[in-house]
Chain A
Amino acid sequence: MKEDLVFNLDHGYAEGLCRGFRSGILKSTDYHNLVQCETLEDLRLHLQSTDYGNFLSNESNPLTVNVIDDRLREKIVQEFQHLRNISYEPLSTFLDYITYAYMIDNIVLLITGTLHQRAIGDLLPRCHPLGSFEQLGAITVADTPAQLYTAVLVDTPLAPYFIDCISEHDLDELNVEIIRSTLYKAYLEDFYNFCKSLGGVTAEVMCEILAFEADRRAFMITINSFDTGLTQDDRAKLYPTCGHLHPDGLQELRRTDNYEGVRDVASRYPQYKVLFDGSGTNTGDKTIEDRFFEHEVKLNMNAFLRQFHFGIFYAYLKLKEQENRNIIWIAECISQKHRARIDNYIPIF
């Protein structure tokens, strides 16, 4: 109660702004209209009537999906950075935490890129601007994880997460994935604890979302690790331990070695049972990833039902990203004239 009383002193404006941004998220009628578009020009015309306004109107013809993608990302980054700039502690730390995930992705992107002999100049523009940091460009200097740590990451907020990876020897493709998962595990747990320490509604909302995120990672790591040579123990090390699956479910996930096993584990948790039951591998069925996305959207939407907490900032960013994925999906379907699956977007409101 006490936090609620003074919440608006520091964060009221930011929250109001965020809720304002939220109401710009496309509604199902907007999607309905978008799906009917026949060219990207139509798409642009339609987006003009939504909250996106004129964000594409200064692009010359012909419009490409890449341009749309860039503009969408630019817009969301701009909004997020505006929120970050006007935020006070502890909201600013919270928002910084959100960006760490993008940093991890960027690092992994650059390392894999260099593994495939791509020039750093081509790779840098593809990095997510939210996860950009000063030393990012020089990441190619490092040949081993240890070097990566001492030369590049030691000054970044990711340094504490990286300590577990130093022992890896080479930067080959499997190791990069392991590094990504280890970093993510450490990051998620840290973020989880941070939110918990904030307490109040923020803790309630964010822990729920992050616990789901952790469980999703555990499931996906397990499913993707079949037939890769990753041992069960190695795998277990990558599971984030802040989810609902911890500890029993994770133990069992460690032991499974096929999809059915994963499904069995999930069936013991009602919230995941529903997701696995509704998915399938046949064409026309929804994949389990889509189901996870849908569930995530639901959790994020629920975050807006409560007030005086930071969860909405996280939820807004995630929802907006989902919306961007939707628009890009629709745009791709339109530009490739592949309309059969155009309805496979995930509606938000």
Chain B
Amino acid sequence: MSTSSIFRSEQMTLCQLFLQPDAAYSSIAELGELSIVQFRDLNPNVNSFQRKFVNELRRCEEMERKIRFLESEIKKEEIPIVDTNENPDAPKPRELVDLEAMIDKLDYDLKQINTNSDALRKNFNELTELKFNLAMTQGFFQQVDPNGNGMFNDMTEEITDETQRMTSGGMKLGFVSGVISRERMNSFERMLWRVCRGNVFLKSAEIPQLIEDPTTGEKAHKIVFVVFFQGEQLKTRIQKICEGFRANIYPCPENGNERRELTMGLMTRLEDLNVVINQTEDHRQRILIETSRLIRLWKIKLIKIKSIYFTMNMFNNDIARKCFIAECWIPTSYLEQVQLALRKGSEISGNVQVSTILHQITTNEKPPTYHKLNKFTQGFQNLVDAYGVASYREINPMSFVLITFPFLFAVMFGDAGHGLIVTLFALWMVLKEDYLKDKGKNQEVWRIFFGGRYIILLMGIFSIYTGLIYNDVFSKSMNLFGSSWKVKFDDNILLKDGAVTLEPNPRPYSAAEHYVQMYSGNPYPIGLDPVWQISENKITFTNSAKMKFAIIIGIMQMSFGVFLSLGNHLYFKHYYAIFLEFIPQIIFLLSIFGYLIILIFYKWTTYLAEQATDAPSLLIHLINMMLMSYPTDDSKTPKSIVVFYNHQRIIQTILLIVAVICIPWLLIGKPIYIIVQRKKKTNSTELVHQESEASNDIEMHEQNEPHQEVDMSEVWVEQGIHTIEYFLGCISHTASYLRLWALSLAHAQLSEVLWTMVLRIGLSMGGIGLGGVALFMVFTTWSTLTVFILLLMEGLSAFLHALRLHWVEFQSKFYKGEGYPFVPFSFQSILEEAAAEN
């Protein structure tokens, strides 16, 4: 029994690993690189925070948090993160401490710098606001002065700096000046007016540029304002309002000279600050650039460490034997490699005295399903897995789907022109694979196309083939080898109205003096003769042919599926199922539908053109076979429905009876077999009981499948459903294959319509100037519609129908799909996932 084949999933072994605590870490790291071991969680009932290595995991998470912080700082400065495509090994546990210290230090440094620079920046921003405040209030005071509006009537000659000291009605005028953000200004003004009952005078001006807010550090539009008021009470109120609206109040000296001095001082301080800020920025930049070189490596290392500890959390800690016990699924053919990796792991950790022990255990648990795949087969396996992951070691239909899927697609998509475009597109994806791999990762539709590039390639190539068979290239036929038919009527006939019929055989024509051989005698070498393109009954002819093809292909594929189930029965040693399931199934299918195929070939080969009207109508014959009614052979009944070969009646009746016998055979065979088996077992249970007591020395962590007896009524119901499903399925599935014909007809017709309704208009326009331009424009429409409707839409529909034919009609004959996929512990896939998340 070969362990490895493309027809079945890999043979799996459940293994126990006894790992020395010192060696465990590096061994798991090796296995993570190897990516071929699936660990089982031995502590499913333990909460994640109660597990053994939760502290290590927390440390990793803490480091990750810091790295995220560093990364966001790097991104903020728009420094590129260096990606060397290097894949560092998982660091040893003791290196973790160094890494931690390094990251800690960077984190601390950066935070320190940030707080410093924040403080500096805040200071700077405040001073900037103050600067604007001073500069613009200056304007207010000067402006108020000469005009002397309302309140300031009596002080026209006074110079600006005395504004606030002037009196109006004996009261001292005070003012508050500050900066407020623009969007608050409106309601601020309104509230001021309300609270102070109109007894204030507000001047404001917008700062012409965006300035940074001292508290939030964001750029914002700001307004400088000055509020003039009378009395202390109003002052506190105004201050409260300013506070409520987060307006920053700045002192503004009453004297003009003082203001000027303050402005000068401010300027020098701002310049100083600028220098300091620039220096801090440079320092920060240097640190970040250094970090950006290493940060990717750190991230990979951390992810690796984390996944190792996460895996080790699934282990059992055997205190008595001082070791970790792990359970894992390993493909049997990889056992050697795993052994090697484990040995290497313990060597790395420096512990060579006691190596890791790998112990194979037998279990009745279902192993995971693992198929060895490459980039070519992967896409096809995905198609199969989308229906259901194969049960362990059952026949994997992927290798058959590989051929039949593109073929069935092409039967529906048969057009060499369209096929060529599809092929070229797929070929481009395949050849530029390495370049395209990393492109458009976020484009979901693109990823679907790219992931299925090999499927598309095969679909395209097969479409070219079927297109040649149908002789369809953009709905036109090609006369590659010269048609076997020559039209040799003379003008008298041709010029008359009405159609003429080409006859393969000599026949006297009324107008022709002698018959000219029109058929060369040899059929067209490949596919349909191009002469059909101009005939009126092309559709009738192709329909009849394509329908029969569809039935032949369908029944062949279904019987192949039934034979594959034989393969499964033999492999799993279900010999009873061969007699109770496989044989009645195949007999039923062949005795009715297999017979139909034979009739089709018989009809094709025996009836010549002159007997065309006498050829049997197979549909009627099949119905008659079912009804067992055979019309009497007299002159009134058409030749096509009376028996056409000797003993037809008796042969058909026998076939029908055999088919009917298959129904109860399949229905009651298996349940009766089960009843008999159970009777036998009850006699031998006592023996088993004695055995089981003896064998329970090693504690094993597996959910021993309770040997439950399925209720007999359930067996009956299940088998009943199964039987009905199969027999009705044979009929409906056969009919279902007619979609091959229907879609191919639809595709051919659509492309023909597109040609005649669109491109022909352009082609039939006269004149080089007008016709050329018109053709140019019409071609655009035609090609766009061809790509979007015929290639994409029709292609998608043919794809889905082909998929359905495989999932339902083909795989239902043999495929269970009740397995679960093998998910090995793999650094590579964990890293890819992490990359996808970002």
Determine the chain B residues whose CB is within 8 A of the CB of A154 once the complex forms: 194
Residues of B within 8 A of A (CB): 47-49, 54, 58, 61-62, 64-65, 68-69, 184, 187, 190-191, 194-195, 237, 240-241, 243-246
**Neighbouring B residues of A152 by C-beta, 8 Å:** 191
CA distance A138 to B190 in the complex (A): 12
The answer to whether the Cβ of A46 comes within 8 Å of any Cβ in the partner chain is yes
Chain A, residue nearest B237 (CB) = A141
In the complex, residue of chain A having the shortest beta-carbon distance to the beta carbon of B246: A137
Asked if A223 is an interface residue, CB under 8 A from chain B, the answer is no
Closest to B111 in A: A60
A45→B49 contact, CB < 8 A: yes
Verify B244–A58 contact, CB threshold 8 A: no
Q: List 23 interface pairs A-B (beta carbons < 8 Å), by A numbering.
A: A33-B47, A36-B47, A37-B49, A41-B49, A41-B58, A45-B48, A46-B47, A46-B48, A49-B48, A57-B61, A58-B68, A61-B62, A120-B244, A121-B243, A135-B187, A137-B243, A137-B245, A138-B195, A139-B244, A141-B237, A141-B244, A151-B194, A154-B194
Q: How far is the CA of A152 from the CA of B241 in the complex (A)?
A: 10
Contacts of A120 in B (CB 8 A): 240, 243-244
As a 0/1 sequence over residues 293 to 326 of chain A, the CB contacts with chain B under 8 angstroms (1 = contact) are 0000000000000000000000000000000000
Shortest Cβ distance from residue A298 to the other chain B in the assembled complex, whole angstroms: 30
Chain A to chain B: the 4 pairs with minimum beta-carbon distance, closest first: A138-B244, A137-B244, A42-B49, A151-B195
* Contact across chains for A46 and B244 when beta carbons are under 8 A apart: no
Q: What is the CB-to-nearest-CB distance from A40 to chain B, in angstroms, rounded to a whole number?
A: 11
Task: Closest A residue to B236 by CB, please name it.
Answer: A141
Given contacts A120-B244, A138-B241, is CB(A46)–CB(B184) below 8 Å? no
**What distance in Å separates the Cβ of A125 from its nearest Cβ neighbour in chain B?**
12
Interface of B is mostly: helix
A33-76 CB contacts (< 8 Å) to partner B: 33, 36-38, 41-42, 45-46, 49, 57-58, 60-61
Q: Which residues of A contact B64 (CB under 8 A)?
A: 57
Q: In the complex, what residues of B have CB within 8 A of residue A137's CB? A: 243-246
In the assembled complex, A335 has its CB within 8 A of some CB on chain B? no
Q: A57-B65, A61-B62, A140-B244 are in contact. List 14 more A-B contacts (CB 8 A).
A: A33-B47, A41-B49, A41-B58, A45-B54, A46-B47, A46-B49, A120-B244, A134-B184, A135-B187, A137-B244, A137-B245, A138-B195, A138-B245, A150-B194
Please tell me if A155 contacts chain B, counting CB pairs below 8 Å. yes
CB-defined contacts of A37 to chain B, threshold 8 Å: 49
The secondary-structure label for the interface of chain A is helix
Once bound together, how far apart are the Cα atoms of A147 and B197, in whole Å?
11
Residues of A within 8 A of B54 (CB): 45
- Within 8 Å CB of B49, what residues of A? 37-38, 41-42, 45-46
Residues of A within 8 A of B (CB): 33, 36-38, 41-42, 45-46, 49, 57-58, 60-61, 120-121, 134-141, 147, 150-152, 154-155
Cβ of B187: which chain A residues have Cβ within 8 Å of it?
134-135, 155
Question: Shortest distance in angstroms between A295's beta carbon and chain B's nearest beta carbon?
Answer: 32
A58:B69 contact, CB within 8 angstroms: yes
Chain B residue, CB-CB nearest to A150? B194
Which residues from chain B contact A147 at a C-beta distance below 8 Å? 195
Minimum CB distance partner of B57 in chain A: A45
> A45-B48, A45-B49, A46-B49 are known contacts. Are A135 and B244 too (CB-CB below 8 A)?
yes
Closest chain A residue, CB of each to CB of B62: A61
B47 touches A58 (CB 8 A): no
Residue of B nearest to A154 (CB): B194
Residue of chain A at shortest CB distance from B184? A134
Contacts of A61 in B (CB 8 A): 62
* Residues of chain B within 8 A of A36, CB atoms compared: 47
Q: Check A151 against B191 for contact (C-beta < 8 Å).
A: yes
Kindly provide the distance from the CB of A60 to the nearest chain B CB, expressed in whole angstroms.
7
Measured in the bound complex, the distance between the Cα atoms of B62 and A155 in whole Å is 48
Q: Which residues of B are found within 8 Å of A60, using beta-carbon distances?
A: 65
**In the complex, what's the smallest C-beta–C-beta distance from B339 to chain A, in angstroms?**
35
**Cβ distance B197 to chain A, nearest Cβ, rounded Å:** 9
Q: A171 CB to closest chain B CB, in angstroms? A: 15
Q: Taking the nearest CB of chain A, how far is it from the CB of B195, in angstroms? A: 5
Q: Are A141 and B47 in contact (CB under 8 A)?
A: no
> Are the CB atoms of B244 and A136 closer together than 8 Å?
yes
For the complex, give the distance between the alpha carbons of A208 and B244 in Å. Answer: 39
Give Cα A36 to B45, complex, Å. Answer: 13
- A58 to B64 CA separation, bound complex (whole angstroms): 9
A138 touches B194 (CB 8 A): no
Which residues on A sit within 8 Å (CB–CB) of B195? 138, 141, 147, 151
A279–B187 Cα gap in the complex (Å)? 49
Complex formed: what's the CA distance from A208 to B58 in Å? 47
Q: Which residues of A contact B243 (CB under 8 A)?
A: 120-121, 137-138, 140
Kindly report which residue of chain B lies nearest to residue A59, judged by CB atoms: B65
A244 to B194, CA, bound (A): 41
* Distance of A45 Cα from B47 Cα, bound (Å): 10
* CB–CB B240/A138 < 8 A: yes
Tell me the smallest distance from the CB of A156 to a CB of chain B, in Å.
10
B68 touches A141 (CB 8 A): no
CA distance A134 to B186 in the complex (A): 10
**What's the minimum C-beta distance from B188 to chain A, rounded to whole angstroms?**
8
Question: Which chain A positions have C-beta within 8 A of B48?
Answer: 45-46, 49
CA distance A151 to B196 in the complex (A): 9
Q: A57–B64 Cα gap in the complex (Å)?
A: 9
Task: Output the least CB separation between B100 and chain A (Å).
Answer: 13
| Chain B: minimal CB distance from A273 (Å) | 41
| Contact residues in B for A49 (Cβ distance below 8 Å) | 48
State whether A135 touches B65 (Cβ < 8 A): no
Least CB separation from B187: chain A residue = A134
Taken together as a complex, chains A and B put the C-alpha atoms of A120 and B241 apart, in Å, by 11
Q: Which residue of B has the minimal Cβ distance to A143?
A: B237
Bound CA–CA A41/B246 (angstroms) = 37
Give A154 to B190 CA distance when docked, in angstroms.
11
Write the nearest CB–CB distance from A68 to chain B, whole angstroms: 16
Chain B hits for A58, CB < 8 A: 65, 68-69
* Residue of B58, B69, B243, B245 with most chain A CB atoms under a 10 A cut-off: B243
- Write the nearest CB–CB distance from A47 to chain B, whole angstroms: 11
Distance A304 CA – B48 CA, assembled complex (angstroms): 32
Q: For the complex, give the distance between the alpha carbons of A327 and B245 in Å.
A: 34
CB B68 to nearest CB in A, in angstroms, measures 7
Chain A neighbourhood of B190, CB < 8 A: 155
Chain A residues near B245 (CB, 8 Å)? 134, 137-138
In angstroms, Cα B108 to Cα A60, docked, is: 12
A195 to B439, CA, bound (A): 52
B191 A138 Cβ-Cβ under 8 A = yes
CB nearest to B61 among chain A residues: A57
Query: Who on chain B is nearest to A39 by CB?
Result: B49
From A147, which residue of chain B is reached at the shortest CB distance?
Answer: B195
Identity of the chain B residue whose Cβ is nearest the Cβ of A152 in the assembled complex: B191
Residue of A nearest to B64 (CB): A57
A176 vs chain B, min Cβ distance (A) = 18
Q: Could you tell me the distance in whole angstroms from the C-beta of B237 to the nearest C-beta in chain A? A: 6
**A residues near B62, Cβ cutoff 8 Å:** 61
**Chain B residues within an 8 Å CB radius of A45:** 48-49, 54, 58
CB distance from B62 to the nearest CB of A (A): 7
Contact present for B240 and A141 (CB under 8 Å): yes
User: Which residue of chain B is the closest to A49 with respect to CB atoms?
Assistant: B48
User: What chain A residues lie within 8 Å of B237 (beta carbons)?
Assistant: 141
Expressed in whole angstroms, the Cα–Cα distance for A42 and B49 within the complex equals 6
Docked complex Cα distance between A37 and B237 (Å):
51
Answer whether A135 and B191 are a contact pair too, CB < 8 Å, given A41-B58, A57-B61: yes
Q: Please give the distance in Å from A117's CB to the nearest CB on chain B.
A: 14
In Å, the complex CA distance between A38 and B50 comes to 10
